[in-house]
């Protein structure tokens, strides 16, 4: 048995050489190499999202060996953090990872992080599969279903997307997409769903086919979280359904693709300097992307450097990018109701950053609370303060709403007007709809079983009343809400090995349907076509 120290030394040599040479290493080293590879995979799949592939930190702290040594974090302390989580929002991995895996990850953290390979446009083109070319696709819908009210449901661990009919709640098809699908976005017309997996694979799904299915796919990077489509039609051209963009975590870049075929057209690196200290950052990841409805533009959150990149896609040969200084660790967010203002969370700075996309500048930074996490956020009209937008928080049980109508209600613009108490922290998403009565929030990452299985709602017209909260399920985590097209019912996911979709009447809060089936494996995000194409939230 090798001592801890010598095991680390062997691992360090392997990491340094950057090779896993199975056939030339002695048996013990092969075993250690296997452990290293296992730990590398676990880190990549479970930890890199928050701490970064190079471990320089973002939503989670810096975990480079130098930083751990400076904090005196020895192997025991690391194991305790991984096993138990932290009050700051890190989940407990005990029960999800075995004791042996926790040991291996703790050891892996003491080594310099290996750098994964770069990916060129040529590599992407090699992986590109055009399954059904546009001229062989239906000219009009081949079914009579209301496809604008379809729901695309992410089956995360199955690497699939289920398409359900909004009216009948029947399953229309299950589409094979990619490893750990993260989100779906609709094309501007709504005809297509784009799905993005954590493995950087984007899949194009045609909802007009008799049985909606994938028509193209391509791998754009080894780690991604965001995708959107081109939504502008006006004086500068008609870009509806013409282009798509993927935002990658690793390599840190974004990729512009043909919206109908997914042929990769252009890759742009985001490696650059932090907006505030002007230090070079090797891994500025692309977090949320939102497409403008008023200009041929995408807004990209460049997480680690703290910039908004406004990418003008009207001429991708001579690409123009406006770089706006925001705040470090920009993560998620969306538009205000007028779709002029970009509202994004810099969650590790406890702020929402507001950009006027007409003037192309930051107009406000609002300190809302401990780690705001809005998803796309929620917009509604408050009886006292007019149009408002709100976010829940990862670090505390609170929804914070601010005025978001500087024209009509300048006195409240970008000022906090309400705080609504929820059951606790760990909230990931908030949702409403212009025609809805209620605002909904989850608590998916709360450490308490009962709380993470509960939602809270309050009436838009009675925001001072105590929210109504209840347990949606007695298993899994309850995550993400989405309205139907009419805005009168809400779909909530129970994220579990065999999950559920629970559908409520938004007016009465009564349960209308509960869908559960073997195919409903780990449902997380679910996206209504009409609301997603129109950015209704
Ligand atoms: Fe997400 C949105 C990143 C973990 C489900 N998630 C987003 C966005 C980003 C992001 C940048 C915004 C995309 C956009 O709008 O273009 N998510 C990350 C992470 O880095 C993080 C924290 C850790 C990780 O390792 O990935 C993470 N996300 C999760 C989950 O654990 C969730 C609950 C399930 C899963 O997929 O693993 C999850 N994220 C979602 C969903 C959205 C999302 C459902 C879209 C919300 C919407 O209403 O638009």
pLDDT in tens, 169-184: 999 999 999 788 999 9
Which residues partner with 254 through β-bridges? Answer: 247, 268
In order of 11, 118, 123, 234, the CA distances from 19 in angstroms are 11, 16, 21, 53
3: left (phi over 0), alpha (psi -120 to 50) or beta: beta
Q: CA triplet 222, 227, 229: central angle to 5 degrees?
A: 140
How many Å apart are CA 498 and CA 480, to the nearest integer? 16
Give the Cα separation of 244 and 241 in Å (integer). Answer: 8
The interaxial angle of helices 99-109 and 75-84, nearest 10 deg, is 130
183 lines ligand 1 (CB under 6 A): yes
What is the C-alpha separation between 167 and 212, in angstroms, rounded?
A: 17
| CB 334 near ligand 1, within 6 Å | no
**How would DSSP label each residue in 80-110?**
HHHHH--TTSPPP-BTTB-HHHHHHHHHHHT
Condensed to tens digits (0 to 9), the pLDDT of residues 232-256 reads 999 999 999 999 999 999 999 999 9
Grade residue 282 by pLDDT with cuts at 50, 70 and 90: very high
Q: How far is the CA of 530 from the centre of ligand 1 (A)?
A: 20
φ, ψ of residue 378 to 5 degrees: the values are: -140, 135
φ and ψ at residue 505, rounded to 5 degrees = -75, 125
pLDDT for 24 equals 41
Q: Which residue has the tokens 């097209």?
A: 485
User: Token digits for 147?
Assistant: 């496809």
Contacts of range 275-279, beta carbons closer than 8 Å, 24 or more positions apart: 275/305, 275/306, 275/307, 275/325, 275/326, 275/327, 275/328, 276/306, 276/325, 276/328
| Closest CA to ligand 1's atom 3 | 225
- Output the CA 236–ligand 1 centroid distance in Å: 32
Beta-bridged to residue 192, according to DSSP, are 206
Angle at 37 between CA 33 and CA 39, to 5 degrees: 115
Q: Which residues are catalytic?
A: 47, 50-51, 90, 331, 373
- Dihedral sign, CA of 283, 284, 289, 294? negative
Q: Longest C-alpha distance within the chain, in Å?
A: 73
Crossing angle (nearest 10°) for helices 4-17 and 99-109: 60
pLDDT value of position 20: 41
Please tell me the distance from the alpha carbon of residue 241 to that of residue 183, in angstroms, as a whole number. Answer: 18
Query: How many other C-beta atoms can be found within 10 angstroms of the C-beta atom of residue 88?
Result: 14
pTM of the model: 0.90
Could you give the CA distance from residue 434 to residue 534 in angstroms, rounded to a whole number? Answer: 12
Indicate whether 308 pLDDT > 50: yes
pLDDT at position 463 = 96
pLDDT given for residue 35 in this prediction: 86
Please give the order of strands across the beta sheet that includes 386-391: 378-382, 386-391, 398-403, 416-421
CA of 461 to the centre of ligand 1 (A): 30
Question: Does the beta carbon of 288 sit less than 6 angstroms from any atom of ligand 1?
Answer: yes
Kind plus residue range of the DSSP H or E element containing 255: strand 253-258
Percent of the chain with pLDDT over 70: 94
Whether 327 shows a pLDDT value over 50: the answer reads: yes
Q: Which helix (H) or strand (E) holds 123?
A: helix 121-127
Q: What's the confidence (pLDDT) of residue 91?
A: 73
Contact in structure between 451 and 471 (CB atoms under 8 Å): no
pLDDT, one tens digit per residue, over 502-515 is 999 999 999 999 99
- 29 in Cβ contact with 71 (< 8 Å): no
Task: Give the separation between CA 51 and CA 66, rounded to whole angstroms.
Answer: 15
Site of tokens 């359900």? 164
pLDDT above 90 as % of the chain: 85
The two three-digit tokens of residue 119, written as one number: 């990916």
Average pLDDT, the chain: 93
What pLDDT, in 10s, does the model give residues 364-407?
999 999 999 999 999 999 999 999 999 999 999 999 999 999 99
Give yes or no for residue 311 having a pLDDT over 90. yes
Higher pLDDT, 17 or 160: 160
Please give the number of the atom of ligand 1 that sits closest to the Cα of 46.
Answer: 25
Q: Whose CA is nearest to atom 28 of ligand 1?
A: 182
Question: Which residue did the predictor score with more confidence, 8 or 55?
Answer: 55
Ligand 1: distance of its center to the CA of 428 in Å? 9
Q: Whose CA is nearest to atom 19 of ligand 1?
A: 49
Residue 376 Cβ inside 6 Å of ligand 1? The answer reads yes
Q: At CA 478, angle to CA 288 and CA 397, rounded to 5?
A: 75
């Amino acid at each position: 048995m090798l001592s801890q120290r010598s095991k680390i030394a062997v691992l360090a040599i392997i990491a340094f050489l950057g090779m896993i040479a199975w056939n030339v290493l002695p048996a013990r080293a092969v075993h250690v190499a296997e452990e290293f590879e296992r730990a590398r995979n676990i880190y990549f799949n479970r930890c890199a999202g928050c701490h970064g592939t190079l471990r320089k930190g973002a939503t989670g702290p810096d975990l480079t060996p130098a930083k751990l040594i400076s904090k005196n974090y020895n192997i025991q302390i690391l194991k305790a953090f991984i096993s138990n989580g932290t009050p700051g929002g890190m989940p407990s991995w005990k029960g999800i990872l075995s004791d042996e895996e926790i040991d291996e990850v703790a050891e892996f953290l003491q080594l310099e992080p290996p750098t994964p390979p770069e990916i060129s446009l040529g590599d992407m083109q090699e992986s590109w599969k055009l399954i059904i070319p546009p001229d062989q696709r239906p000219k009009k819908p081949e079914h009579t279903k209301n496809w604008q009210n379809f729901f695309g449901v992410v089956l995360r661990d199955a690497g699939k997307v289920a398409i359900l009919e909004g009216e009948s709640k029947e399953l229309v098809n299950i589409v094979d997409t990619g490893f750990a699908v993260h989100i779906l976005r609709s094309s501007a017309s709504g005809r297509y769903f784009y799905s993005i997996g954590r493995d950087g694979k984007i899949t194009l799904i045609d909802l007009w086919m008799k049985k909606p299915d994938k028509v193209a796919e391509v791998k754009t990077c080894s780690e991604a979280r965001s995708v959107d489509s081109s939504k502008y039609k006006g004086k500068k051209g008609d870009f509806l359904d013409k282009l798509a963009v993927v935002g990658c975590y690793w390599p840190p870049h974004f990729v512009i693709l043909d919206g109908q075929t997914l042929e990769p057209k252009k890759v742009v690196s985001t490696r650059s300097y932090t907006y505030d200290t002007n230090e070079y950052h090797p891994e500025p990841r692309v977090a949320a992307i939102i497409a403008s409805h008023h200009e041929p533009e995408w807004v990209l959150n460049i997480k680690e450097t703290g910039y908004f990149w406004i990418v003008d896609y009207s001429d991708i040969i001579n690409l123009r990018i406006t770089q706006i200084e925001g705040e470090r660790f920009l993560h998620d967010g969306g538009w205000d109701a007028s779709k002029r203002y970009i509202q994004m969370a810099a969650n590790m700075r406890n702020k929402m950053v507001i950009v006027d996309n007409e003037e192309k500048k930051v107009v406000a930074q609002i300190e809302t609370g401990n780690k705001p996490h809005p998803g796309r956020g929620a917009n509604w009209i408050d009886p006292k303060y007019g149009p408002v937008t709100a976010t829940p928080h990862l670090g505390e049980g609170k929804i914070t709403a601010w005025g978001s109508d500087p024209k009509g209600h300048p006195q409240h613009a970008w000022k906090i007007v309400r705080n609504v108490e929820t059951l606790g922290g760990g909230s990931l998403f908030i949702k409403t709809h212009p025609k809805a009565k209620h605002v909904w929030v989850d608590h998916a990452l709360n450490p308490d079983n009962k709380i993470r299985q509960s939602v809270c709602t309050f009436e838009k017209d009675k925001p001072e009343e105590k929210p109504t909260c209840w347990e949606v399920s007695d298993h899994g985590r309850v995550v993400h809400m989405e309205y139907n097209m009419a805005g009168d019912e809400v779909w909530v996911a129970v994220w579990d090995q065999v999950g559920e979709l629970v559908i409520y009447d938004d007016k009465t809060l009564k349960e209308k349907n509960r869908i559960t089936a073997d195919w409903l494996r780990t449902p997380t995000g679910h996206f209504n076509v009409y609301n997603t194409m129109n950015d209704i939230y």
